[in-house]
Structure 1
Amino acid sequence: MKQGQRLVVVGGGSTYTIGMIMSLIEEKAHFPLRSITFYDTDGERQERVAKATEIIFREHYPELELFEYTTDKEYAFRDKDFFFVQIRTGGLEMREKDEQIPLRHGVVGQETCGPGGMSYGMRSIGDMIDLVADIRQGSPGGWILNYTNPAAIVAEALKRAYPNDKKILNICDMPAAIMVSYAKILGKEIWDLVPEYFGLNHFGWFTGIYDKEGNELTEDIKRAILEDGFIPEDSEIANDPSWIKTFKQVEKMLTDFPEYLPNTYLQYYLYPSDMAEKEDVENTRARQVINGRQQRVFSMCDQIIADDSLENVHLEVDIHGCYMIRVAASLAYNNGDIFIVMVKNDGIIANLPDDAMVEVPAMLTNRGPKPFAVGHIPRFYKGMIEGQLAYEQLVVDAYFENSYEKALQALTLNRTVVDAPVARQILDDLINENENYWPALKQRETVAR
């Protein structure tokens, strides 16, 4: 019988938490739990989710020994086995500014890509570094599964701050959300598929999709997308108009670049002008989430609490939670399952720098990820990745060095911006809005001639 784990959900007040809880219930045979602790700095927001969660557990997880929630990090982090980290420094209010500022300059406004991603990343780095230090005080051997965005920038920063910590794993559920749609096309379950993939987080390509018997299914997927279109199937995004449009773009990307199956986020880098023109600065994705998912989730929590039961709500399992839990189970029980995760390159992609944090398939064991070699990648993808990698590393340089120049270089390199004067205007606006979050960026003094 598997030993139950002691889990902390860091960011317990997230709108994704209820979906995670339903996934924990769905997956309890794979990842049994002794205790679950919610931790959040926003006690009021967390309490709303937690009180609903108590009722969910009472009805669907009565064997759970302990559920608790707290704003006391020292208590929350003591003697735990796993930490699922989903924080958002600045909340959705700052996300909205991240998206609006670039759009006002005619540039893509998105929370993880382009200037918005840099803004969010610069806010996330400090909190994530402090959070890992706090966790290690209480649980030196606990697994930290981080899916705080922008994951690529956060992973780069944590690699530098904690180069010897082998129990931090940065992961993203977007490849899994895409694979759910592949599975639907093929009439299979996501867990039946074995992916081949390379890239950076939110910047990668599937080179092959296989079943467990080794049959390649890639061309079947491509053909279906080009003939019938591509739609999201994961319950969390299936009916979201923004995500439906995003998945629709895969057809265009595959028509233009048919060699590999693209990550959906590549739309922002391949068609930045089109993407910026389609957005409404007064109704960005953040505003849609505030008025949509956030209201829906908290209203549902209120309904559960008022009824003291689940009789008037419909709860669904989503891939966001299931993916994280299957990853944790493979680490906990040495399952050796294969997942797409972020790891230090160290020759995995032969013609990219060894210090890059790449996103590739890996076998997950109780000793950590064992990534599969990719080898050399073609010139187009290498060039795309190297530019994005330089941007990500310069953002982290800017944070640690308090460097305005490095931040400007980063934005100028980013494919969503390119134009240096526009990059400077956006950067100055972001600095003003983030004065309570970013380190003070200093400009190099110029020498008069």
Structure 2
Amino acid sequence: MKLTILGGGGFRVPLVYGALLTDRGEGRVTEVVLHDLDAGRLTAVGRVLAEQAAGVPGAPTVTTTTDLDEALRGADFVFSAIRVGGLEGRADDERVALAEGVLGQETVGAGGIAYGLRTVPVAVDIARRVARLAPDAWVINFTNPAGLVTEAMSRHLGDRVIGICDSPVGLGRRIARVLGGNPNEAWIDYVGLNHLGWVRGLKIAGRDELPRLLADPDLLGSFEEGKLFGVEWLQSLGAIPNEYLHYYYFNREAVRSYQQVEKTRGAFLADQQARFYDEVGAPGAKALDVWDRTRAEREATYMAENRETAGAGERDADDLSGGYEKVALALMRAIARDERTTLILNVRNRSTLAVLDNDAVIEVPCLVDANGAHPVTVAPLPDHATGLVCSVKAVEREVLAAAESASRTTAVKAFALHPLVDSVNVARRLVEGYTSVHPGLAYLK
């Protein structure tokens, strides 16, 4: 099978290739095509992959190209992992928002809206090209904001585009480990939008063990989310929220913490990855060692500001290994080989959540087989969660409308309606600020 990775010069591509190297089954990926607009980054990542493949019999071949159409032709699977505007754009997203006293995180709040506005037109172009050049391909979307981008692409690819995120998977695994269960065998009752979901139950051997966790303060406070949100708040919710909900439940503290750091997350990663690509390009560099060292630093500092605000301390060692590449491999196997499995994915709602229409992309457990991902029936969300999900989905729809119509007025509306933007005037200044720094938003009139 041929796998095309868009954003193939990205830092996390070796995670995907490493997962592919472990797959020895029939119908596995044998050809990987990396596409990127930056030939230098493609060369650097290619060196890392070559070292990963050294001594591995039958390792998938790797080719690189800056020609998008060439990369897509004949693909069986397409991974979309692009970053429009690069990490410098992410740093600008954070800076402009924080100057207005609102959150600039890349998927949540003002930063997520800015990122979505410049990403959606590019993602739609990719979807149209896939439909034309590789109509039988399955597109697996990694590109953030994952739910929003997946919904934009689904308008052209239908159910053949599926969004993935490792955040709910990691949450479920942490809960299962704390409860003494096998994370690979637990059933996770999780529902919401990407980076906006809750675990309402976790069954081990057919029994829901979440009530036991919520009733035990010591157990509840022993893992990442317990430390991040606090035992009392989790018990009040009666559920375990995705870690990104910290930006909603503790927004004032999160914004203050981000304003006080020497470098925002985007600025830190931009500097870190610039060093990585420089080091890998040096003569005689051990590319894989450089990548491993850089990745360890990146994972250890993930959501550091939120953990500092909550007094949560350092991340546990078990949480430093990533995971989205494992979800992607399991998804490909299930589709390519009809190896039926259950995964938490971003897919069209159909009739899963009655408060949203059929085409709204949600994040929910899905049964996956050769015909794709099928969302399972879930219980309704409580009112507080329903209100937040509907509010954020309405914002996503305004982002899609603004991108389609090139309407600056609609872009202002998207910002103004977000729960974490507290004034229409702030929304107007955000649009002014973002359009002044992002060439990719010049289309808004």
Q: TM-score, normalised by structure 2?
A: 0.86
2: distance between equivalents of 1:271 and 1:311?
Answer: 36
Pair 1:146-2:141 in alignment: yes
Does the CA-based 8 Å contact 1:52-1:304 persist in structure 2? no
Which residue matches 1:250? 229
2: distance between equivalents of 1:312 and 1:77?
Answer: 27
2:22 to 9, 21, 26: 26
Tell me, what secondary structure is at the counterpart of 1:351? coil
Pair 1:441-2:444 in alignment: yes
Q: Deviations over 1:398-448 (max 9, x none)?
A: 1112222222222111111122211211121112112x2025333xxxxxx
Q: Unaligned 5+ residue runs, structure 1?
A: 233-245, 443-449
1:7 to 3, 25, 47: 3
Pair 1:158-2:162 in alignment: no
Q: Deviations over 1:211-263 (max 9, x none)?
A: 3x31222134445676463555xxxxxxxxxxxxx873233684474321101
| AA matched with 2:441 | W
| AA matched with 1:121 | G
2: distance between equivalents of 1:73 and 1:225?
Answer: 52
Compared CA separation, residues 30 and 196, structure 1 to 2 (3 A): farther
Does the CA-based 8 Å contact 1:55-1:304 persist in structure 2? no
Does the CA-based 8 Å contact 2:435-2:442 persist in structure 1? no
Compared CA separation, residues 301 and 28, structure 1 to 2 (3 A): farther
- What's the CA shift for 1:66? 2.3
Which residue matches 1:196? 189
Does the CA-based 8 Å contact 1:229-1:248 persist in structure 2? yes
Does the CA-based 8 Å contact 1:230-1:251 persist in structure 2? no
- What's the CA shift for 1:16? 0.7
| AA matched with 2:139 | I
**Counterparts of residues 70-219 of structure 1 (less than 5 Å):** 70-160=65-155, 162=156, 165-211=158-204, 213-219=205-211
Which residue matches 1:400? 404
| AA matched with 1:412 | A
| AA matched with 2:54 | R
Does the CA-based 8 Å contact 2:406-2:443 persist in structure 1? yes
Pair 1:319-2:311 in alignment: no
Which residue matches 1:283? 263
1: distance between equivalents of 2:235 and 2:330?
Answer: 34
Does the CA-based 8 Å contact 1:151-1:170 persist in structure 2? yes
1: distance between equivalents of 2:161 and 2:390?
Answer: 24
- What's the CA shift for 1:190? 3.2
Does the CA-based 8 Å contact 1:31-1:326 persist in structure 2? no
Q: Deviations over 1:261-305 (max 9, x none)?
A: 10111111222211111113651111222244x267547745896
Q: Which moved more, 1:313-322 or 1:141-150?
A: 313-322
| AA matched with 2:375 | P
Compared CA separation, residues 310 and 387, structure 1 to 2 (3 A): closer
2: distance between equivalents of 1:283 and 1:176?
Answer: 29
Which residue matches 1:45? 41
Which residue matches 1:356? 360
Does the CA-based 8 Å contact 1:226-1:251 persist in structure 2? no
Which residue matches 1:445? none
**Counterparts of residues 359-378 of structure 1 (less than 5 Å):** 359-378=363-382
2: distance between equivalents of 1:32 and 1:55?
Answer: 20
Does the CA-based 8 Å contact 1:92-1:290 persist in structure 2? yes
Tell me, what secondary structure is at the counterpart of 1:192? coil
**Counterparts of residues 61-72 of structure 1 (less than 5 Å):** 61-64=56-59, 66-72=61-67
Q: Deviations over 1:186-228 (max 9, x none)?
A: 34553222211111111111111123x3122213444567646
Does the CA-based 8 Å contact 1:121-1:149 persist in structure 2? yes
Q: Deviations over 1:331-360 (max 9, x none)?
A: 111122111112222221123333322111
Q: Which moved more, 1:200-209 or 1:398-407?
A: 398-407
2: distance between equivalents of 1:276 and 1:409?
Answer: 22
- What's the CA shift for 1:71? 1.4
| AA matched with 1:380 | H
Does the CA-based 8 Å contact 1:395-1:407 persist in structure 2? yes
- What's the CA shift for 1:38? 1.1
2: distance between equivalents of 1:337 and 1:304?
Answer: 45
| AA matched with 2:165 | C
Tell me, what secondary structure is at the counterpart of 1:346? coil
| AA matched with 2:72 | F
| AA matched with 1:248 | K
Q: Unaligned 5+ residue runs, structure 2?
A: 297-320
- What's the CA shift for 1:31? 7.0
Which residue matches 2:316? none
2: distance between equivalents of 1:308 and 1:414?
Answer: 42
Compared CA separation, residues 346 and 264, structure 1 to 2 (3 A): same
Tell me, what secondary structure is at the counterpart of 2:208? coil
1: distance between equivalents of 2:72 and 2:211?
Answer: 47
Compared CA separation, residues 325 and 267, structure 1 to 2 (3 A): same
Pair 1:409-2:404 in alignment: no
1: distance between equivalents of 2:88 and 2:355?
Answer: 40
Aligned residues: 419
1: distance between equivalents of 2:325 and 2:240?
Answer: 24
Which residue matches 1:344? 348
Q: CA RMSD in A?
A: 2.7
Q: Deviations over 1:116-149 (max 9, x none)?
A: 0011101111111111222333322011101100
Does the CA-based 8 Å contact 1:52-1:302 persist in structure 2? no
1: distance between equivalents of 2:232 and 2:166?
Answer: 21
Does the CA-based 8 Å contact 1:89-1:124 persist in structure 2? yes
Q: Which moved more, 1:217-226 or 1:19-28?
A: 217-226
- What's the CA shift for 1:84? 1.4
1: distance between equivalents of 2:91 and 2:343?
Answer: 32
Compared CA separation, residues 18 and 167, structure 1 to 2 (3 A): same
Compared CA separation, residues 260 and 99, structure 1 to 2 (3 A): same
Q: TM-score, normalised by structure 1?
A: 0.85
Q: Which moved more, 1:126-135 or 1:187-196?
A: 187-196
| AA matched with 1:215 | R
